[in-house]
Chain A
Amino acid sequence: MTPWGEIAVAILLLASGIVVLIAALGLWRLQDFFTRMHAPALASTLAAWLVTFASIIHFSTRANEPDLHVWLIIIVLSITAPVTTIVLARAALFRRRRAGDELPPPLERQRY
């Protein structure tokens, strides 16, 4: 394995660790639920991409052939993560409207 490949893998991994830590910080520190919802998206997009690129570089330089298998994780993750986010956002809207919080009213038919 070339040392350049190793340096790239190390940098990508450390960057993803920092991004995940920032996401966790956001999850812990932000005040409102809907504001907090944006923080975990960092982990499932940017951090996951960085780790995947690191592992593609690592296994491709080690085996001397491109290893495309890891791409599947990015693809599956970018299909599943939005579904979780959307369903959770709808659940939160429903529950908080029922609890009487100050939120925008449900969208009506033919408002525009």
Chain B
Amino acid sequence: MSNLLSWSITLTLILFVLAISLGLLRLLRGPTAQDRVLALDFIYVVGMLIMLTLAIRYDSSMYFEGAFLMVLFGFVSSVAMAKFLLRGEVIE
């Protein structure tokens, strides 16, 4: 791991964390329920990107599995919440 790469990874992770905090602000502020679901979905995607960046940082492909699970769980939870907003129940 050269100096250049490790510095750029650190900088990228800082940018990702800034993005997540903006998403958290939107999550807390709302104003409607669909805004909060959108923000949570965004945070899931950025978390997945952080996992992939950590895979490069620590040279381990174990993080892929984590990223994969985050994609799937983020998808299921966002769709379930959106479905709840649409009908008031998740399973019809």
Give, as a whole number of angstroms, the nearest-CB distance from B92 to chain A.
13
Interface members, chain A 45-80 (any B CB < 8 Å): 47-48, 51-52, 54-55, 58-59, 62, 69-70, 72-73, 76-77, 80
- Chain A residue numbers with a CB within 8 Å of B15 are 14, 17-18, 20-21
Count A interface residues, CB 8 Å. Answer: 52
- Chain B residue numbers with a CB within 8 Å of A40 are 38, 41-42, 45
Q: Are A27 and B33 in contact (CB under 8 A)?
A: no
Q: Are A76 and B68 in contact (CB under 8 A)?
A: yes
Greatest chain B CB density within 10 A among A9, A54, A88 is at A88
Q: A28-B25, A91-B83 are in contact. List 5 more A-B contacts (CB 8 A).
A: A17-B12, A23-B19, A48-B49, A84-B75, A84-B78
